[in-house]
């Protein structure tokens, strides 16, 4: 998992929407996290994969914005926003090179023996004829 530098994150605090009574109306607990992917200090390969996967979420000037307002405290919302950004990075798949392999001799023998065993079980289920 990639660790993002705190200096590259830009936080702004806004008022949360939704129910909550007077608390919502007077306290700015929602966190708006902005991260500039184009100027970040990560490898170019990872940047390109991130941009390709999340191109609809990235603004024209290279910022990705995450709004966290699930919790009542500013601190928890801030932590939630950082975790969500890290999750976006962890969801990027790195294609593994598949090395083709062949089954071993013993696994081939086991497979054939298992097939023979199943065949015998199924033959025993058949009706017995008196002609034989």
User: Taking residues 30-46, what's their average pLDDT?
Assistant: 87
- Written as six digits, the tokens of 95 are 């294609």
Query: With bands split at pLDDT 50, 70 and 90, how would you rate the model's confidence at 20?
Result: low
Which fold does the domain 6-90 belong to in CATH? Double Stranded RNA Binding Domain (3.30.160)
Q: What percent of the chain has pLDDT over 90?
A: 37
d(C-alpha 74, C-alpha 27), whole Å:
9
Distance separating alpha carbons of residues 21 and 38, to the nearest angstrom: 40
pLDDT at 44: 86
pLDDT band at 38 (very low <50, low <70, confident <90, very high): confident
Look at residue 24 and tell me whether its pLDDT is greater than 90: no
- Cα–Cα dist 92/2, whole Å: 11
Distances in whole angstroms, Cα of residue 9 to Cα of each of 6, 31, 37, 56, 79: 5, 12, 10, 20, 12
Q: What mean pLDDT value characterizes the chain?
A: 86
Residues 4, 33: Cα–Cα separation, whole Å: 13
Is-above-0.85 flag for pTM?
Answer: no
What pLDDT was estimated at residue 107? 97
Q: What is the pLDDT of residue 43?
A: 83
């Amino acid at each position: 998992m990639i660790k993002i530098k705190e200096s590259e994150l830009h936080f702004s605090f806004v008022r949360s929407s939704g129910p909550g009574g007077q608390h919502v109306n007077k306290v700015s607990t929602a966190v708006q996290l902005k991260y500039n992917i184009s100027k970040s200090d990560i490898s170019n390969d990872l940047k390109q994969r991130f941009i390709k996967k999340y191109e609809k979420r990235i603004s024209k000037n290279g910022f990705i914005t995450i709004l966290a307002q699930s919790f009542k405290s500013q601190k928890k919302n801030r932590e939630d926003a950082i975790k969500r950004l890290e999750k976006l990075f962890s969801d990027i798949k790195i294609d593994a090179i598949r090395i083709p392999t062949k089954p071993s001799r013993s696994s081939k023998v086991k497979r054939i023996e298992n097939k023979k065993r199943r065949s015998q079980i199924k033959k025993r289920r058949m009706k017995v004829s008196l002609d034989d």
